[in-house]
Each structure stands twice: as C-alpha cells, then as structure tokens.
Amino acid sequence: MIQRLLSFLAGWESGTTLLIAGSLLVGAIAFALYWRQRHRGSILSDSLTQARNRLDSLQTRDSLTGLFSRAEFDRALEAATARCDQRSERLCVVVVDIDDQRGINDRFGLEGGDQVLREVARRLDECLGAQAGAAARVGADEFALLVPGDRLAGLEAALRIERRFEPVLQIGGRAERISCSIGIACYPEQGARQRLLLNAEVAMRSVKLLGGGAHAEYDPAMGTAQRAQAQLLHDLRIAIEESQFELYYQPKIDARSLQITAVEALVRWNHPQRGIVSPVVFIPLAERHGLIGAIGDWVIAEACRQAAVWRRSGLRMRVAINLSGAQLRRDDLVEFIQARLAEHAIPPGRLTCEITESVAMEDTRVTREAFARLGRAGIHVSIDDFGTGYSSLAALRRRMAAELKIDRAFVCDLETSSDARAIVQAIVQMAHTLELRVVAEGVETQGQRDLLVKMGCDELQGFLFARPMTAQALTLWASDERPASHAELAFRPSLFGETLPPALDSVQPAT
Ligand code: C2E
Ligand code: CA
Ligand code: CA
C-alpha cells in the first residue's frame, strides 16, 4: 500500500508535491503505529485493571472466609464512626475469637482448622442478618463485627452469636462443639475510633482468661488485669529457664487398710517475689501459651527422680502425675516417660498418669493412640475429675484406664445432697463392673469418709488425711514412725497432724 502511494505521488511534478507526499507518508506510518500502540495499550490497561481489581478484592476480602479483610474493616469503621459523629448515633465493635483453635488444628489438622474458620465466618455473617453492619476476619482465628446501635445492640448481637454457636459443627465426620470468647466496645463511650477494636479485643481476652465461652463489655480495669497477666507470663518463662518449680505430694489412702497406696505429685511455682503460686493460676496460662510441654517434662523427670529416692529408702508407693491435653497430643510423650522411668529404674506400673475425663474422652486418633501406647508401656492410667465430662461405658472400656477419680464436687456435696450420693454410688458400681479402682478426691470430713467407705470406694484422698506437702515433709513423716520391715507406708491420721511443716500453711489449695 505504501508503494502504491509512492508511485501515485511520482506523477506529481513539483518539489512541493514531493514534500506533501513525504509528510503524508510519515503521517500514515505514525497513524498506523499509533493504532497498534493504542490497541496494545488497551490490552495492557485491561489486564492492569483486572490485576488491580484482584488486588482490591484481596485487600477487601479475606481469601479463606470471603469476609472483609482487616484493612477493609478499618475503612468501614472509619466511615461508620464519621457517620455516627454527624448524626449523633452509636455503634459497637464485637470481636469474636474461637476458643482453642490451636487444639482444633492439633486434633483435625490445618484442613479441619480451615473448615472451622469458614463455618464460623458463615455463622457470623448470618448473625448480622439484615442489619447494615460488616463482618471481617481480623486475625488468624479472630473475627470482628460492626453493629449499628448502642451498648444494648452490642449485647444483643453477642447473645445472637452465642445462640448461633450452640449447634454442633461437623469436622472430619465428627460432631464438635465450638465455643467463642466475645468482647464488645461501644462508640464513642467505650473507646475512640482508633481504640475501639483494641478495646473490644481487651474485653474478649478478659473472657478468654476466665475460660472462654462467654461475652463481656469493655471496662478500663480489664487492661490492668491483662497487663498483670502479661507480667505473669513473662515471669513464667523465666521460671521455666530457672527451674523455679517444686513438686508437692498428696497421699492416696486405701479406704480399708488406711495404708498409703500412692502419692499424687502437684506442681508449685516458687516465685521469688510472689511466693508460692498455685497451679490453678499458672497451668492454664502455660497451656494457652505453649509452655506446658516444658513444665510437664520437668514434672515427669522430677517425679521419677523422687520416686527412685523413696524406693531406695524403702517407700515403695506408686507416684501419680497429672498430664494436660497438650502433653497427650505430643508424639514422643510415652517415649519420654519411658526414658525417665528407665533412667531411675522405676517399673512402669509404679507410675500413674492422671488425665482429666474431658481430655481422656476426646475421641481423636491422637488421644486414642496415646492411651493405647501408655497401656502397652504398662503405665497405670487414672481418669481424673470423673463425672464432669461425658463418658460412655464403651469408651471407658476401650481407654484401658486402671482407676477413676470421682470429682471433688460430688464428694463435697455427699452429706447434703441425695443426688450427689446417688451419682457417687452409680460411679462406684459402674467402675467396679469395669474392674476399675475408684478414688474419691477432696475428702474433708469424717462424714464424707464414712459414706464413701460404705459405698465401696477403694481409695480416698483429701485434707482429712493430708494436704499436699513437700517430698521432704513426706519422707520425714514416713521415716519417723515407719516399722523397719514395712514395705508400704502405714497411715496414721494423728501422725499427719503432728508433722505438718509450718510452710504448708502458705499453700493455697484449689477451691
Ligand atoms: P487435681 O489434679 O484435681 O488435683 C487436686 C487438687 O485438689 C489439688 O490442688 C489439691 O491440693 C486439691 N485438694 C486435695 N485435697 C483437697 C480437699 O480435701 N479439699 C480441697 N478443697 N482441695 C483439695 P492443686 O495442687 O492446687 O492443683 C490444682 C490442679 O492443678 C490439679 O487438680 C491439676 O489439674 C493441676 N495440676 C497440678 N499439678 C499439675 C501438673 O504437674 N501438671 C498438670 N498438667 N496439671 C497439674
Ligand atoms: Ca489429679
Ligand atoms: Ca482431680
């Protein structure tokens, strides 16, 4: 086409004509190039727009749950608070955090964990319903809702969420109940725009500290409590490094012969400034922050070491330790225990592992395997706090436990409640049918003791007989009056009264 144009122009005579023709040619080429460029440019700009849209949706949407992202939530909060200021309205931020997401991931794997997050997101979105609010995923297992209205609206939203979480959730073919901790902060009275989400999180964490599964409104005092908790956690990490722990031991008494059959190791934290800290305070903290493994390992090693010391001096009672769920989920737990037993030449049957009923009945592959491996290793297993969880007889048989410990709550009510008596009697009969020994813990009165003996309880434990005491106190007491040839330790209540060391008064028992 360019050649044709040139030959057409060649027919013209003057130089001017040639000049015009040249300009035309350049213009045509420039025009062609422009078109090509423009076409290319539009392709480029289309794909740029697509990429930008994708990026926008990534920034505005959480890819796992489809809820708003943290960045988009911040934008929505900014706009909503500005609207509130103009119209003198109120709004609430409701933060929802899944309790024990770490445990869920441990039990069901990351795939199961993601499934839970998606289902939680779906339920939260439903809770917003027709309200002009917004739901976002603002952390790994933390969600936030913008709820228009005053504090009452925030509380109503929390109640709606709690109701929506009542139905069980199916994960990996199993029904699981998911609980959440919910915190609420209302704008403007419970926080300025920049503080609102943080304050709702403070309220949520205060719920979590009390065990989760509830809701709370923000209160400035909560921040102080959490700073104290953070300090305690900091101190606990140091305590692990510096081994500030000690084991106290509380005897289990044979209900008929009154001999000591075992001692339960109960950990204490000797804090350099605070004094003795109860395990009720620091064990749940350690469990929440992944520190229970280190403390648990120390407890296992120390209990085995002490058991060997006692065995060498002729005290051959069984030693019991308490195991947390997180310890049970560790692959190498049984090997670790076996290694410590071997190191101190303790026969595995002389060690009891107390595992709470709720942990023992988690029917997951990991807990089933842990029980089977403890059983194969010949280690005695006791189901602690029995009566507080949900056990089926079949599951109890499969668990191969050797002992059930009736929870303190039933023992405490024995003298006053016929229901408690009926429950304890039923537990004793069932346990005996399954050939399990029954221990009653928290025995404080002679009346409780008599009832438990009448009902056929095998062993008793509680302040009536002895408080937890240091290994030294127990050894002292035993070696004072023990007949030289007696392999088992005979229990004499009067003796315990005389030999309680003064330091024991400062021990805070669990209530
Ligand atoms: P637990 O295993 O149910 O231990 C029994 C608790 O009841 C002990 O509290 C004991 O001192 C207390 N107690 C014993 N007899 C009586 C009584 O007659 N009346 C009353 N009111 N209380 C009595 P402690 O030592 O404060 O331990 C509390 C909990 O801390 C334990 O409950 C156990 O769940 C946990 N714990 C203690 N040591 C360890 C440990 O080494 N590892 C783990 N994972 N948990 C531990
Ligand atoms: Ca126990
Ligand atoms: Ca118990």
| Helical packing angle, 446-455 and 418-433, nearest 10° | 40
Q: What is the mean pLDDT of residues 195-217?
A: 93
In this prediction the pTM is: 0.69
Residue with tokens 């024991």: 504
Decide: 373 and 336 in contact? Cβ < 8 Å: no
DSSP 8-state secondary structure symbol assigned to residue 61: B
Report the C-alpha gap between 467 and 505 in whole angstroms: 10
Q: Which helix (H) or strand (E) holds 251?
A: strand 245-254
Residues with CB under 5 A from ligand 3 (ion): 384-385
Ligand 3 mean position, distance from CA 144 (Å): 37
List, for residues 402-415, the tens digit of each pLDDT value: 999 999 999 999 99
Q: Which residue has the higher pLDDT, 115 or 499?
A: 115
Rg, the chain, Cα only: 35
Mean predicted confidence (pLDDT) in 380-395: 83
For the CA atoms of 38, 44, 46, 50, what is the dihedral angle to 10 degrees?
Answer: -170
The DSSP code for 68 is: B
pLDDT at 282 over 60: yes
Q: Mean pLDDT lowest for which of 15-19, 63-67, 221-225, 472-476?
A: 15-19
For ligand 1, mutation pick of 245, 246, 276, 322 (most atoms within 8 Å of CB) = 322
Q: How far apart are CA 170 and CA 176, in angstroms?
A: 6
Long-range CB contacts for residues 392-398, cutoff 8 Å, separation at least 24: 393/430, 393/434, 395/361, 395/363, 396/434, 396/436, 397/434, 398/368, 398/371
- Average the pLDDT over 179-187 and give the result: 96
- In total, the chain counts a number of residues equal to 511
Among candidate residues 335, 334, 331, 301, the one with its CA nearest the CA of residue 319 = 301
266 C-alpha to ligand 1 centroid (Å): 6
Q: Does the C-beta of 278 come closer than 6 Å to ligand 1?
A: yes
pLDDT (mean) for 114-135: 87
Residues 6+ apart with CB under 8 A from 329: 106, 107, 366, 367, 370
- The whole-number pLDDT of residue 38 equals 66
Count other C-beta atoms under 10 Å from residue 465's C-beta: 19
CB 179 within 8 A of CB 215: no
Per-residue pLDDT at 196: 96
Residue with tokens 């989400």: 197
CATH of domain 249-265+297-496: 3.20.20.450
Longest Cα–Cα distance in the chain:
139
**Amino acid 80: pLDDT:** 95
For the chain, domain boundaries: 2-60, 70-218, 249-265+297-496
Rounded mean pLDDT of 226-237? 93
Q: What SS3 class is residue 477?
A: helix
Asked if 282 and 310 count as a contact pair (C-beta separation under 8 A), the reply is no
Distance 38 CA to ligand 1 centre (A): 78
Q: What is the pLDDT of residues 82-110, one digit of tens each?
A: 999 999 999 999 999 999 888 888 888 88
Contact 406, 438 (CB under 8 A): yes
Query: Among 19-23, 389-393, 426-430, 481-485, where is mean pLDDT lowest?
Result: 481-485
Q: Is 360 in the pocket of ligand 1 (CB under 6 A)?
A: no
Query: Percentage of the chain with pLDDT > 70?
Result: 81
* CATH code reported for the domain at 70-218: 3.30.70.270
Laid out side by side, the sheet with 215-217 consists of: 134-137, 142-148, 91-98, 180-187, 215-217
Q: Where are the alpha helices (DSSP H) in 61-167?
A: 70-87, 101-128, 151-164
The ligand 1 atom at the shortest distance from the C-alpha of residue 407 is: 3
